[in-house]
A and B are shown apart, each in its own frame.
Chain A
Amino acid sequence: MMKIAIAANKKGKVLKEKVKAFLAERHYEMMDQSSSDIFEATMNIVEAIKNKTADKGIVIDEYGVAPFMISTKNHGIICAPVYDDYTSKMTRMHNATQIITLGSAISAEPFACQLALNFAESEYDGGRHQVRIDMLNKMV
């Protein structure tokens, strides 16, 4: 069973509960590592990916911007802010994304749940895309 670590701060809490329940109903094992502090919430998910206790991660706050910045500064972490159908499917396939961010101010519940599911169901294509991932991982 795929394990998905999820975390939110106060502004993402309501949406996080909906996304968590939606994915759990679809047989994903959900690990909630929320914190009132977005830095701590995001670093919890980064650690879960780094130490492989989770296969994928989702962080939710108001706009998804801060958790993108925090995640991406870490070595080996590929994080994508997701707010549209295309990115929700493509980013795992092309960028080997481990973590997505969602924003409660910009994506309403049914749509955000679908975005999260699209990410959960997608897998990395590898091949030519790996050269770019190797480059990113050299930067930090």
Chain B
Amino acid sequence: MSDLKGQVALITGAGGTLGSSHARAIAARGAHVVIHDIIADAADAVVDDVVRLGGSASPMVCDVTDRQAVKSCVDAVTAEHGAVFILNNNAGITGNNALIKDIDEDFFDRMFDIHVKGAFLVTQEIVDGMKAAGGGRIVNTISGCAHSGAVSGSHYNGAKGAIVGLTRALASEFTPFGITVNAIAPGVTPSGMTRVRLGEEGLAARAKQLVSDRLPTPEEITTGVMFFLAEEAAIVTGRVLNMQQPRKAEVI
């Protein structure tokens, strides 16, 4: 296992269930973790949690769709802690299982702005520092729905598919700079977002569709992120790790 001591990690949307799980794991390996969220209280709570567990963390509060806000935050992080070595573009909103007839222009634009433009802007703001420092690891959080087509909101799935394209384009482009770009595609995982979308009953129903009869824990999804961060994974780039579980034959 690689030691991340002395490295800086930035996780967007880290106030949420999956982002905070990634933050705890990365901090446990010694990195300073910048906990981004648009909600200050959410970021602060995760910072406190990481510090309580003996890790190092600081909050970053901004709207990822606002270039100037992202830039000033990243500049401040770099000045205080050094260049970002690990970036997890994880910020997102739920598609709320919306059908295409019910998705208005505002909802569509918000979906693509936060997921796609957000990942684009944050990556642009950190990549110069990463290149100058000689390398880095970018892991984008997408969704198994982008592969399977499962109904979760086609604007949500389409935005995640755009991030798959971005992942593969940047993997080619950043290879000469020692930067890998990959993505994890979790299946349904109990989280703040999936509870809003599916409810407790819906989550239980999803678990029954799986051969394992259970949904993953956030920590099990974090394992996918940690794989891409391993020193030994330096040649793995442009890949999407699909973490959906096998479904029972009778529900296919």
B partners with A: no
